[in-house]
Amino acid sequence: MDMSVLWDMSYGVYAVGALDGERLCGCIANSAMQISVEPPTIAVSINKENFTHEVLTRTGRFTLSLFSEQNAPLDITYLGFQSGRERDKFAKVEHGITPEGLPFVTDNACGYLSCKVIGSADCHTHTVFLAEVTDAVRLSDNKPMTYDYYHKVIKGKTPKNAPTYQGK
Amino acid sequence: MDMSVLWDMSYGVYAVGALDGERLCGCIANSAMQISVEPPTIAVSINKENFTHEVLTRTGRFTLSLFSEQNAPLDITYLGFQSGRERDKFAKVEHGITPEGLPFVTDNACGYLSCKVIGSADCHTHTVFLAEVTDAVRLSDNKPMTYDYYHKVIKGKTPKNAPTYQGK
């Protein structure tokens, strides 16, 4: 059994943005994908220990920002490597706010999706949230950042709670 | 609402292999991702009209082959653009058979995962199958084929039943 094969699956780099009362929160996700075209739905896998998991379960609303190769790696550091329980993760990240009050990453991102949770599937350490895309806004024509690019070009690390954590 | 933002999500190119009695079947998938590390689980989105959907629902077993940039584009044509209801899709595709009798694509693929369905989530036209990875075998160190590479370099098309179909 050579688990390194799993590391050859391809992903993008995304920021999940959510709203805890009046407080902005979120996290970094790479396991996100489109499920159906009509109506447009996506799935995203979130670790149950993440504060964002708690907020998504409670509010059912989030944004998914699509990072481009021009996004500052620090955006990933701020959103992915500290907990929203203690910190305002968006304080140092260039962001906008949707009409519903949800944060999304600007700073050269490709764009963002506004999402409404329509279902979920429990899967051990993670929950797969299924969500309908209620709005989609393009912010740039930059090249989408792949997870591979983040690792190999930016030399980025993976948080311990990520579905694709490789133990190093 | 600019749905083209959804097209900037990143994916790999995968073949799902399944067994209908003694008959090999399968399809092409791009919406597949890892969900948890321990135990290793993945999710894959399959259109309900696909014959493979029927077989996965019935048997609960499948392989996921990870295509590399060296895979013949014809593998995608054979597995993705005809129905397993009428044809032996693997007849012209270089493949191997797992101990459980499931087909996987060889022909320069990065490797394959043997998967056992542990749950599913209904999502309009598609079902998201959650599956535990029971085996993982590396076949090559070739560069994984991304969906973007398939579109832009190979100039590949997307079957109508794909989660990411763009209507052209």
Q: What is the mean pLDDT of chain B?
A: 94
Tens-place pLDDT, residues B113-141: 999 999 999 999 999 999 999 999 999 99
Residues B30-68: pLDDT tens digits?
999 999 999 999 999 999 999 999 999 999 999 999 999
CB distance B2–A111 less than 8 Å?
A: yes
Q: Is the dihedral of CA A148, B32, B70, B154 positive or negative?
A: negative
Q: What is the mean pLDDT of residues A73-92?
A: 87
Residues in a beta bridge with B32: B44
Please check the confidence at residue A142 and state whether its pLDDT lies above 60.
yes
pLDDT at A156: 81
What is the per-residue pLDDT for A127?
97
Nearest CA in chain A to B31: A33
State residue A37's pLDDT score: 93
Question: Would you say A80 and A27 are in contact if contact means Cβ atoms under 8 Å apart?
Answer: yes
Kindly state the tokens that stand for A35. 């499920």
Q: Please give the share of chain A, as a percent, with pLDDT higher than 70.
A: 99
pLDDT of residue A25: 95
pLDDT at B165: 81
Considering only CA atoms, which of A40, A152, A77, A126 is closest in space to residue B3?
A40
Cβ contact A35–B31 (<8 Å): yes
Give the model's pLDDT for residue A168.
52
pLDDT above 90 coverage of chain B, percent: 83
pLDDT at A81: 84
A5-38 pLDDT tens trace = 999 999 999 999 999 999 999 999 999 999 999 9
Identify the band that residue A128 occupies on the pLDDT scale cut at 50, 70 and 90.
very high
DSSP assignment of B52-104 equals HHHHHHHH-EEEEEE-BTTS-HHHHHHHHSS-TTTS-GGGGS-EEE-TTS-EE
Q: Which of A3, A33, A146 sits opposite B136 (nearest CB)?
A: A3
Q: Are the Cβ atoms of A138 and B2 closer than 8 angstroms?
A: yes
Q: For the complex shown, is ipTM > 0.90?
A: yes
CB-based contact B125 A37, cutoff 8 Å? yes
Higher per-residue pLDDT: B159 or B106? B106
